[in-house]
Amino acid sequence: MSSNVKGSILKGKKGVILGVANKWSIAWGIAKALYREGAELILTYHIRVKDRVEALAEELGPDVKIVECDVTDDINTDKAFEEINKIFNGKLDFLVHSVAFANKDELNGRYVETTREGYLLAQDVSAYSLVAVSRRAEPLFVANGGGSIVCLTYIGGERVVENYNVMGVAKAALESSVKYLANDLGPKNIRINAISAGPIKTLAASAIGGISKLIDIIARLSPLRKNIEIEEVGDTALFLVSDMSRAITGENLHVDSGFHCLAIVSGGENGEE
């Protein structure tokens, strides 16, 4: 479908996206896909990037709203959901969590050198925040008769990825949270799933030592022999927040050109054995 043609898969659906930071972010790819299919959107922002998110919202569409939300601050997060509640008249169809952070110094070298402060920060922003926003979104979903939550993870939460370190441990906690939240929220017809996206050269990912090497490996050795684009993750999120995935919850869906299915990677030039 052409980007300037409005679809109808999410027509009348209202949702919040946390984590849009710039045009290279995965959350931006998701925002474009969901808005393209008719969703009414609120983008949240941290005060440090308000101007940037405001410009992106205006580019997306004149009806896209923005709301401040600092997921490390309970009072600020409460205020954010009070505002979301007012804008959407007490009902919510979906929420996308694309928030993660670790100190750059923790994303090089050995995991055993992780500091207590760095560990707690990564867990707070990258994992606990999913629990915090899910709890606040729950009554809005209930008033709507159900809904869908989607979060973003990476294979470094399942297996060791060089230099991913404390973020890998945070992603493991995030993925486990998805399962526990699925069990808690399922009786209220609220689904929650994770997308495990392959490495994409976002500004956030540039902090990870050796990210270019990881991207090259995917292009050469993954079953599809191609890198991942934010638009592909966006379309997967579209599926997961839509009614097409209404019987799927507690899942970790890999969008990585099939790389996760390989036990050992080997290959010569252009990734051919």
Which residues form the catalytic set? 154, 164
In angstroms, rounded to a whole number, what is the distance separating the alpha carbons of residues 134 and 13? 18
The answer to whether 65 and 88 are in contact (CB under 8 A) is no
Structure tokens at 165: 């370190």
Question: Count of alpha carbons within 13 Å of 8, Cβ hemisphere only?
Answer: 0
CA separation for the pair 46, 67 (Å, rounded): 9
The answer to whether 167 and 107 have CB atoms below 8 angstroms apart is yes
* Lookup: tokens for 259: 């790389």
Cα(229)–Cα(48) distance, integer angstroms:
26
Which tokens sit at 54? 């405001």
Q: Which of 254, 192, 228, 251 is nearest to 29 (CA)?
A: 228
Other Cβ atoms closer than 10 A to 54:
14
Q: For residues 185 and 138, what is the distance between their CA atoms, to the nearest angstrom?
A: 8
Q: Name every residue whose Cβ is closer than 8 Å to that of residue 115 and which is 6 or more positions away in sequence.
A: 106
C-alpha torsion sign, points 173, 209, 212, 102: positive
